[in-house]
Amino acid sequence: MAAISAALVGCAAQSTDVRILASIEGVASERAFATPPPGGPAIVEVTEHAYANATSQDIILSGSGRSTGQNILHVALYLPADSTAAPEARLPDAPLAYTDIGAELEKALPGIDMRISDNFAQNAYGPFGYALGRAAGTDLCLYAWQRIRGPEKASLFPRRGTIAIRLRLCEPDASEAKLLRVIYGLHINAYVPSPDWNPYGDPRPADPRLGQLGTSIYPDAAIDRRGEIEPGEPPRGRLRARAPRRAATEPVAE
């Protein structure tokens, strides 16, 4: 009986052992994985989610739109995977299929007729896709998605890593160019301190003209001249002052 009682106590103790699959905590805005460009929407709040194979952040952005939902920038950095972790403790890591875009749009912007753009768009980190839609009132909404991952190379020590980005942004009386300016000017501030993590691929090679004989490279193309003052018109010839006319004198009466 004593052995059975001990076993029952042990089972009861194990049943109350709660494990967290993915931790969630608030972090300071200064620790956001990515930031909008200067002049873009301000960061209001950052919530961080820790998974077995990734760390993601939901970055809440300011906005004055009337549509339902928050302006949010979602950034996920995928880490070296833990093969022993349960599947529910892992963040799915797969490119966004075209057939799944509609479900994401409906979840992020319910009830808004979003149209996927056919235009090719690319920022400093690579190509991205986006959709636009008009919400109630004058709000124009943008939903953009991007996956940053270097090319796969056969190597004994492959460098891997992925950054997944989603941007949901609605603003009143906004233009397509104004909303796209946020994703174009996005700056990623985070990285994984591991030599095996490199989602960007190899750096671009230097200009092949550098150091070559018979090739001239001028700095004019790299100079921003928008702040220069245009030269004025050349001064005209100086006008000579005319001598004042003498006043006519009336004859003196005798």
Tokens of 57: 């952040």
Q: Give whole-number Cα distances, 130 to 8, 105, 142, in Å.
A: 57, 10, 7
Question: Is 213 domain-assigned?
Answer: no
What pTM was computed for the model? 0.72
- Please tell me the predicted confidence (pLDDT) of residue 229: 47
**Is 224 inside a domain boundary?**
no
Task: Please count the CA atoms within 13 angstroms of the CA of 14 that sit on its side-chain side.
Answer: 6
What are the respective helix, strand and coil percentages of the chain, to the nearest 5? 15, 30, 55
Quote the tokens at residue 131: 């959709």
Cα separations in angstroms, 225 against 200, 220, 221, 230: 32, 9, 10, 10
Here the tokens at position 79 are 């880490």
Q: Is there a domain that residue 182 lies in?
A: yes
Q: How many beta carbons lie within 10 A of that of residue 171, not counting itself?
A: 21
Residues of the chain under the 70 pLDDT cut: 1-22, 80-88, 152-159, 220-254
Structural domain tally of the chain? 1
Identify whether 1 is part of a domain.
no
Half-sphere exposure of 52 (CA within 13 A, CB side): 14
Residue 101 has a pLDDT of 95
200/150 Cα distance (integer angstroms): 5
Q: pLDDT per residue over 87-119, tens digit each?
A: 667 888 888 998 999 999 999 999 999 999 999
Q: What is the pLDDT of residue 212?
A: 85
pLDDT of residue 167: 98
The residues that bridge with 230 in the sheet, in sequence order, are none
Residue 160 lies in a domain: yes
The whole-number pLDDT of residue 252 equals 47
- Supply the range of the domain harboring residue 40: 20-188
Residue 241 lies in a domain: no
Eight-class DSSP state of 133:
E
Q: Is residue 81 part of a domain?
A: yes
